[in-house]
Amino acid sequence: MVVGDASLEIDLLVIGAGPGGYVAAIRAAQLGQNVLIVEKNEFGGVCLNQGCIPSKTLISAAHQYETMNRSANIGISASDVTIDFVKIQEWKSSVVKKLTSGVGGLLKGNKILTFQGEAMFINEQEARLFNENESLRYRFKHCIVATGSRPIELEAFPFGGRILSSTEALSLEAIPQSLIVVGGGYIGIELGQMYAKFGTKVTILARTPAILPGFEKDVTKLVQRKLEKEKVEVYTETQAQSVETTDHNVTVTYEVKGEKKKVTADYVLVTVGRRPNTDGDLGLDLIGVKLSERGLIEIDGQCRTNIPSIFAIGDVVAGPALAHKASYEAKVAAEAIAGQSSQIDYKVIPAIVYSDPEIASVGLSEVEAKEKGYIVKIGKFPYSANGRALSLQSTEGFVKLVADEKTGLVLGAQIVGEEASNLVAELGLAIEMGATLEDIALTIHAHPTLGEMVGEVAETALGHGIHQM
């Protein structure tokens, strides 16, 4: 639905239509609000268009290609397996289009007004909406800022040409023969490993002492081992200093252990974090919305800023830049605006890396639990002892539970291995509901499944595991 009469007063203005914005708009509409949503670029935001969905689509294709080339040991051989990367990109685009069209349909079905363009605050309850063709002025009772984030651009590595952000890396027309990745976080590891599976020679330059900082070492070392098998060169504690580009390649100069070195490749992908979209012409400064030093909007427990009529969610507020966090905050904000008592609680926001093997974490790690003063009880169960994992040729990995020794209360979980991203959901629910190790152990898990390991690891932590010594 296109915005009509500019004299309308809107109950709620939502700026940004990513997984935070469009979810907030729909939930608010369900609660009886008259909603207008504004999007500068594509509806669905970065997640659906340049992030979560396209990256996981390409990662899935890379896994399928790898599987076709490693099944001879179980009696299945394939010869002349080829990659049509143009067709893979077309398939990716079709997945994205299907989902973004779905978002449009949901907005329309919930009678939400939409505007393709930008928004700028005039005061605490008015904003100007504009694009190349029109400029409209709207008054609102409340507004939710959900403008997301963008890749951080290093001064020495300006995006363009052969210097890529994650957006360009997901849209290459051909598989590069070689790729340098600056950054050892989850985006760099996911995309670097994806291209390595397609046959690209990948070099990763991580500034941190280990890849994937924030995850426990016993988890990340399995990903490191797989990268080595894929002949990915990983250098930690490095400082990427400069880049030289030609029509054919790029050369990055970096420092490691006080020594300057150079590496040349077709492209360099820079993945050193993301920056909140709170600058520019939005006008937050004009109305006095408080920002942190990092440019993040400060909010209370209901996602309300220091301006009572303005709320903020997603990548523009503190916390991990995750789509599911944004969607969660969106519901809280919409319900708070409708007068409900909803409050944000980040205790069970899962973190997932679509590396090989996958990593998933929820709640407290062992280190975090000890820092909070808990005497912890640990359970650990290996994939190699699970029948389903053996049948899938996916025996690398483990499920780990962290619990309170005194009460048995489940505090956290870390999983590395096949389908970790799906297995973690049960453990997130367990923490949310205040479940104990015994509660999980007494839950009958179907056999043969990977999910059995959740029950097994609880039994192991209790000291009566069946399938491991």
Name the percent of the chain lying above pLDDT 90: 93
Look-up of token digits 């999983």 = 415
Positive/negative CA dihedral, 404, 410, 411, 417: positive
Query: What is the location of CATH 3.50.50.60 in the chain?
Result: 9-150+275-337, 163-272
Intervals of CATH 3.30.390.30 along the chain: 357-462
Q: What is the pLDDT of residues 224-281, one digit of tens each?
A: 999 999 999 999 999 999 999 999 999 999 999 889 999 999 999 999 999 999 988 8
Residue 131 region, left (φ>0) first, then alpha (ψ -120 to 50), else beta?
beta
CATH 3.30.390.30 describes domain 357-462: yes
Q: Cα separation of 324 and 108, whole Å?
A: 22
Task: Assign domain 9-150+275-337 to a CATH class.
Answer: alpha beta
In this predicted model, what pLDDT tens digit does every residue of 109-137 receive, in sequence order?
999 999 999 999 999 999 999 999 999 99
Rg (CA), the chain: 24
**Terminal alpha carbon distance of the chain:** 62
Annotated catalytic sites, by residue? 447
Q: Please list, in sequence order, all residues whose beta carbon lies within 8 angstroms of the beta carbon of residue 63, skipping any fewer than 6 positions away.
A: 197, 356
pLDDT at 208: 95
C-alpha 186: how far from its chain's center? 8
Tokens of residue 448, six digits: 């043969």
Alpha carbon dihedral 192, 197, 198, 203, in 10-degree steps, equals: 40
Question: How far, in Å, are 13, 47, 87, 286, 448 from residue 419 at the CA level?
Answer: 38, 21, 26, 47, 14
139-169 pLDDT, tens digit each: 999 999 999 999 999 999 999 999 999 999 9
> In this structure, are residues 398 and 422 in contact, taking their beta carbons and an 8 Å threshold?
no
Strand 398-404 with 410-416, pairing? antiparallel
CATH topology for the 163-272 domain: FAD/NAD(P)-binding domain (3.50.50)
For residues 311 and 21, is the Cβ–Cβ distance under 8 A? no
pLDDT in single tens digits along all 469 residues of the chain: 444 444 568 999 999 999 999 999 999 999 999 999 999 999 999 999 999 999 999 999 999 999 888 777 888 888 888 999 999 999 999 999 999 999 999 999 999 999 999 999 999 999 999 999 999 999 999 999 999 999 999 999 999 999 999 999 999 999 999 999 999 999 999 999 999 999 999 999 999 999 999 899 999 999 999 999 999 999 999 999 999 999 999 999 999 988 999 999 999 999 999 999 998 889 999 999 999 999 999 999 999 999 999 999 999 999 999 999 999 999 999 999 999 999 999 999 999 999 999 999 999 999 999 999 999 999 999 999 999 999 999 999 999 999 999 999 999 999 999 999 999 999 999 999 999 999 999 999 999 999 999 999 999 999 999 998 7
Establish how many alpha carbons lie within 13 A of residue 383's alpha carbon, considering only the half-sphere containing its beta carbon.
Answer: 23
